[in-house]
Amino acid sequence: MTPDISTLIAACEWYPSSFFVLSQNVFSPLLYYTYAGSVIPTLLIGILLLLKARKQLSVQYLFLMTVFFSIWIFCNLVTWATEFPAYTMFFWSLLVLVEPFVYFFAACFTYSFIKQGSIPWKHVVLLSLPLLPTIFFAPTSLGLTAFDLTNCDRGANEGPLALYGYIIELVYVLFIIGFTAAYALKEQNADNWKRAVYVSIGVGAFLLSFSLGNIAEAFTENWYIGQYGLLGAPVFTAFLAYAIVRFQAFHVRLLSTQALVVGVGILVFSLLFVRSIEYARYAIIATLILLSLLGYFLIRSVRREIAAREHNEKLAKDLAKANARLRELDRQKSEFVSIASHQLRSPLTAIRGYASMLLEGSYGKVPAKAAEVLERISTSSTFMASSIEDFLNVSRIEQGRMKYELAPVDLPKLASDVVDELRAAAVKQGVTLLFRSSITGTGKAHVDPGKMRQVIYNLVDNALKYTPTGSIDVIVTDDVGPKTLSITVKDSGVGMSEDTLHNIFNKFVRAKNANSVNVSGTGLGLYVAKQMIEAMQGAIIAESAGEGKGSTFTVTVPMSA
Amino acid sequence: MHNRAATLYIGALLLFALFSGIACWYRYVYLSDFPYVVAESVEALLGTGEEEL
């Protein structure tokens, strides 16, 4: 006669369980290690990712996948631990219900991550159709047929729905493989291609480690091997998290630091429940407190570092934008100056020309008083023409339109001519203007003659402007360096402070005391001279012992071969 | 916000799964409505169990 069920259950002498999962019925600690070791980090990664980007669809799907994975692990552990057949049946039926969901969400995650967007609702419905029979029939006898009391293993006999579950899991795996393969073959963009490969490897490995238990059991009837596979789940979830992080603007360091701290914390906390180390509880509590403190500071420092880096990156971006804006404004300014100067130059030429003709008596004799006025008109318009020429030169230089025609030029002769030209002005001013040449070679420079003349003129004219009394020496030499010639313009004028020396070659910069001796001058002459000399492969430097102690400008240019 | 219809659909799917889970609890735990496949004797039960373990 068959004994009754309660006799059989009592004969098995199952241990009582607490909290559903803590029980000596779970005779192998491996189960606890693998289950806790896989579910905690997996769920943690899912939660952390969700916290970081809760609006991102692929993250939501990954989170749901980790949640269903965790439910599955919990249910499985209960079926190992519980001594009540009713609980075994209930949690086992949940296993049948939950398992295909892990695969479904893995498929949704793969789809949305690769496509980087939402899944059309029709596709979601299509993907979920295989789940519907499982949802509707899980509580029926199609899910589980009976509780197995032919042995004391506390197992349930699975119905056709469980087999159906395995088949649809295979369908989802095939979908994931097919979808990523089709995408990877079509995709040209290297980043998108990598993304598809990353995610397919991650999802594939995750599902493989998840289903290794079933596969291993089917082929070897050894459930031990399958349990080790579960340990792969957090690794592959981490891999998926990395894939998301790699292609999104997440902070992988912060995420990994948080995961590390929380993971280690949970691990240490779980030691409190291990019976064999009861006496070490105080040490564990102390470790936990220390870990919490250190973890808090670690996370805070990483967060701060990231915030600082982000701030710097933002500043750099703003700076780049501002620079671009400034360059544009500078270009517009040069263009405006160029147009305005051209418009001014033409009428000015007429003014200068007619003033000169009137002075020369081309239109009859001019009264002395009127001649004086005409003289002023002529001088002022000449100065204005020179300023306009400076403006035009600046705009040409800045727009890169300045043309240089390099040729061998007799530098001492050129300098001597300029000095002769300005000698009258020097005499009128009461300044001694001397020219000296100590050339031993040919004295030929490889420069644009017009530009070189303008540079020398600017330097000597400047020296005259800022030397109310005293002397100006213009010296040409060829002993400053190999294959170079130099011109030095040395005056005993107002000199320059250290501060002015640093900026004297910038636009619109004049010596601080310049206005006290000379009100005319745009502050462009030296800027133009420097730009021209550098364009001709030369160099220009300014020296001064200080204000009131004179200045020396030295120009070096390449010697003609 | 991504496709609202898809979100609602998945929400409904999860809700049905929850109902299904509740139904499982109702059947297996609350009603204890499930059959047993039993061993012919206590000896057979324990013997098979030992071998399996």
User: What ipTM, to 2 d.p.?
Assistant: 0.89
Alpha-carbon distance B2 to nearest alpha carbon in chain A (angstroms): 5
Is residue A161 within 8 Å of residue A138, measured between CB atoms? yes
pLDDT of A317 higher than 90: yes
Residue A171 pLDDT level (bands cut at 50, 70, 90): very high
Please give the mean pLDDT across all residues of chain B.
83
Give the pLDDT score at B52: 43
Neighbours of B45 (CB within 10 A): 22
pLDDT of B39 higher than 80: yes
Is residue A81 within 8 Å of residue A20, measured between CB atoms? yes
Give the pLDDT score at A22: 83
Looking up tokens 């059959």 gives B35
pLDDT (average), residues A318-323:
95
Neighbours of A516 (CB within 10 A): 11
pLDDT (average), residues A29-38:
76
Cα end-to-end distance, chain B, whole Å: 53
Do B49 and A152 count as a contact with CB atoms less than 8 A apart?
yes
Cα end-to-end distance, chain A, whole Å: 122
Lowest mean pLDDT among A125-139, A145-159, A390-404, A409-423: A390-404
pLDDT of A180 higher than 80: yes
What stretches of A436-521 show up as alpha helix (H) in DSSP?
449-465, 498-503, 514-517
Give the pLDDT score at A225: 66
Give the pLDDT score at B49: 43
Please give the mean pLDDT across all residues of chain A.
84
**Which range is most confident: A9-13, A253-257, A448-452, B28-32?**
B28-32
Give the pLDDT score at A248: 57
Residue A392 pLDDT level (bands cut at 50, 70, 90): confident
Smallest Cβ distance to B38: which of A5, A139, A153?
A: A5
Which carries the bigger pLDDT value, residue A293 or residue A181?
A: A181
Q: Give the C-alpha separation, A75 to A217, whole Å.
A: 18
For B33, the closest chain A residue by CA position comes to: A86
Do A12 and B20 count as a contact with CB atoms less than 8 A apart?
no
**Residues of A with CB below 8 A from B1's CB?**
55
Give the largest Cα separation in chain B, rounded: 63
pLDDT of B53 higher than 50: no
Give the pLDDT score at A272: 65
Give the pLDDT score at A131: 95
Is residue A493 within 8 Å of residue A467, measured between CB atoms? yes
Is residue A526 within 8 Å of residue A454, measured between CB atoms? no
Give the pLDDT score at A495: 87
Smallest Cβ distance to B46: which of A97, A125, A152?
A: A152
pLDDT (average), residues A353-360:
89
Residue B51 pLDDT level (bands cut at 50, 70, 90): very low
B31 touches chain A (CB under 8 A): no
pLDDT of A298 higher than 60: yes
For B29, the closest chain A residue by CA position comes to: A86
Which carries the bigger pLDDT value, residue B42 or residue A260?
A: B42
**Residues of B with CB below 8 A from A55's CB?**
1
Give the pLDDT score at A315: 94
Q: What percent of chain A has pLDDT over 70?
A: 89
Give the pLDDT score at A194: 79
pLDDT of A249 higher than 50: no
pLDDT of B13 higher than 50: yes
